Amino acid sequence: MENHLKGLNAKQREAATHMEGPLLIVAGAGAGKTKTITHRILNLIKNGVAPEKILAVTFTNKAAKEMKEKINSLINESYKLSANDYQLPFVSTFHSLGVYIIKENARVLGLTRHFTILDESDSTTLIKEAIKDIGLDPKQYDPKKIGNIISREKGKFTNLAHYEEKVNDPAYREGNYLSKIVAQVWNLYEKKKAKENSLDFDDLLLKATKLLKENEQIRKIYQEKWDYIHIDEYQDTNEVQYLMSKLLSENNKNICVVGDADQNIYSWRGANLKNILSFEKDYGKDVKIILLEENYRSTKNILEAANEIIKKNKYRPDKNLFTKNPIGEKIGFYEALDESDEADFVATKILEILDSPLEEYPKGEVDEFSTPSRKRATPQEGNKNTLPEIAVLYRANFQSRALEEAMLRYNIPYQVLGVKFFERKEIKDTLAYLRAALNPESLSDIKRIINFPARGIGKVTLAKIFSGEKESLPIKVKIKIDNFYKILEEIKNKIETEKVSDVIKFTVKKSGIETELSTGTEEDVERLENIKELATLALKYDNLKDGMGIEKLLEDASLASDQDSLMINTPHPNPLLNKERENNTVKLMTVHASKGLEFKYVFITGLEDGLFPHQRNGEMKSAEDKEEERRLFYVALTRAKEKLFLSFANFRTIFGSRQINTLSEFIGDIPADIIKKEGEKSSIKTIYMD
């Protein structure tokens, strides 16, 4: 066996050595899919394929970064070269790939290279303005709801012209009135973005794919650029991502897709399960299908539970995960009185895992509203368990409140995924200065920063600037505006000549943000610390010249996902624990956010009928919806490596109403002989219900 294939099992090796034609790798949870893809890429290079002719696309920056580092390491080990001696394959997320294609063809699309990427809140603001512009009330017509409709349509590869044609067809009945309003809002929204030289997330995929589909010359450039294409998490692709993959690979059909129908959990944002189920039909008789069923992550007990859960689903290719790992501990199950009792169980169990006993304090000294004086939650000497090996999962975001309160009560450092570093106000303000310097047409950015720090420029003045009436303003106001634009010009000059980290330091000082925050409240000082963290983060872009570093930083910031917060040293939510960084915290997250991650210990909370499986407002779920909830639980189970805890609360307060719960059907599907009850349910003498 060749050295570069050592360490692969028979199925992984078969996938890694496949050279020509379409390949579908059905990879179960923990079956080593990243290892298989990266070794396949190395094998292609070993067989004479130039690294730059290989494309690998995944869904999160974290996954792309890990894949890139692994490929780099494999090439380095195999050829004894430094990273400067060779070109790497093109590894990116779908959205980053869209940005790359759009930037290279910006003029064709009527854009400049420095277009602004709108985040969700920026998009919602523009949609809200569009709703007002057509004379409607945003309180009656929710901008987020309309934005979601537009996003869903774009994910189906529907552009505005197609949508307008559909809703104006007399035969179209479904949601006709709302649909016509959506069409009007969408029309104005597109005009506002064009005026600002900006795109939203969905445009990055839609415009790049539309360009590939409609422009044969440009399509051929990228088909010839990449001879071998790899698509990770193929079960999560929507219509646009599916079409983009197909267009790029149609020249020679050297496409390798990796995925697992059992982990399709994103239908609500357009992921289409049929893309992976129909791969063989789409790419013809030459398709090679390889199943990776050996799990290297979890114990036998955890896998048995996962297999029992998922086998009830009908819309899936038949497979059964197995492992050579030990049987492992039984799955812990706790029946709690309510969400506070459940959260207390999680917190005390974490302390037990860390082998960190609580300090004694007199009974009756602590009530439910006070914080007990407890020992810091740190592992004792010699204990190998650490906080980053522990994750607490929940189905809905609101569940984090009780869990966070318990973490604070027991002094357990924690991090909530979903609280993104790049969404902090001070970070968005700093980045807005950089974007506006590169793209002065970005009215959203100008509006955000022109009066921060305060410059005495009010809304009326702003409206006149945007409508081209600047000359009608008083001379003192015009001087203020000119000074602001001079700051942007100076920042732009720095971007073109200085390192990224130095540009951020200059921007914060020149704009007045540093003075504003350093002389403010303690909270302002903390915000300044966050900006310093941004400058530290920017160090990794300092090697990119001619303004490319700032471009890359702004792109990464715009496309950051929940999981990317794991890669940034953000301050802890509890000010008392601010010295604790992400590498020493328990992770709290939704099950959706946990996709692709793994932990030694996993708690899955809220296993109640109506919560998990989830049921919105009592409405009946379709068979497809029910299967997705089961897939979601399967994903949650398979995040655990050694120990799994499940919990259920008899009572839970939701939207101010205390509800009595029944146990989730999922618990009954797990064999009783691999479950062990944890603790005892609190006794109840009298319960008063409103």
CA-closest candidate to residue 433, choices 443, 444, 446, 424: 446
Query: Do 429 and 452 form a contact (C-beta atoms < 8 A)?
Result: yes
Instruction: Single out the catalytic residue among 119, 196, 203, 233.
Output: 233
Instruction: Single out the catalytic residue among 40, 639, 641, 643.
Output: 639
Instruction: Single out the catalytic residue among 119, 200, 203, 232.
Output: 232
Query: Do 157 and 209 form a contact (C-beta atoms < 8 A)?
Result: yes
Helix (H) or strand (E) holding 131: helix 120-133
Query: Token pair of 147, please?
Result: 């934005």
Query: Do 49 and 228 form a contact (C-beta atoms < 8 A)?
Result: yes
CA distance 143 to 129: 9
CA distance 166 to 160: 10
Task: Name residue, tokens 């066996």.
Answer: 1
Concerning whether 639 is annotated as a catalytic residue, the answer is yes
Instruction: Single out the catalytic residue among 34, 125, 386, 659.
Output: 34
Those residues whose C-beta lies under 8 Å from the C-beta of residue 481, and which sit 6 or more positions away, are 450, 457, 461, 465, 470, 473
Query: Token pair of 417, please?
Result: 């995924």
Residue 627 neighbours by CB distance under 10 Å? 22
Which of the 8 DSSP states describes residue 110? T
Query: Do 563 and 597 form a contact (C-beta atoms < 8 A)?
Result: yes
> Residue type at 35?
K
Query: Token pair of 303, please?
Result: 């896998």
CA distance 134 to 192: 13
Concerning whether 13 is annotated as a catalytic residue, the answer is no
User: Exposed/middle/buried for 456, CB within 10 Å: 0-12, 13-18, 19+?
Assistant: exposed
Query: Token pair of 283, please?
Result: 């790419």
Query: Do 577 and 377 form a contact (C-beta atoms < 8 A)?
Result: no
Concerning whether 232 is annotated as a catalytic residue, the answer is yes
List the beta bridge partners of residue 648: 335
Query: Do 442 and 448 form a contact (C-beta atoms < 8 A)?
Result: no
CA distance 572 to 520: 21
Coil vs helix vs strand at 281: helix
Instruction: Single out the catalytic residue among 58, 93, 235, 263.
Output: 263
Q: Check the CA dihedral 570-505-84-561 and report its sign.
A: positive
* Pairing verdict, β 255-259 and 90-93: unpaired
CA distance 629 to 607: 12
289: left (phi over 0), alpha (psi -120 to 50) or beta: beta
Task: Name residue, tokens 């609280």.
Answer: 419
Instruction: Single out the catalytic residue among 11, 12, 13, 33.
Output: 33
Concerning whether 158 is annotated as a catalytic residue, the answer is no
Residue 585 phi/psi, 5-degree rounding, is -140, 150
User: Exposed/middle/buried for 200, CB within 10 Å: 0-12, 13-18, 19+?
Assistant: buried
Concerning whether 33 is annotated as a catalytic residue, the answer is yes
Those residues whose C-beta lies under 8 Å from the C-beta of residue 129, and which sit 6 or more positions away, are 188, 192
Q: DSSP characters for 630-680?
A: HHHHHHHHTTEEEEEEEEEESEEEETTEEEE--B-HHHHHS-GGGEEE-S-
The per-type count for the chain, helices as H runs and strands as E runs, is 27, 17
> Residue type at 404?
E
Concerning whether 200 is annotated as a catalytic residue, the answer is no
Q: Which residues are catalytic?
A: 33-34, 232-233, 263, 639
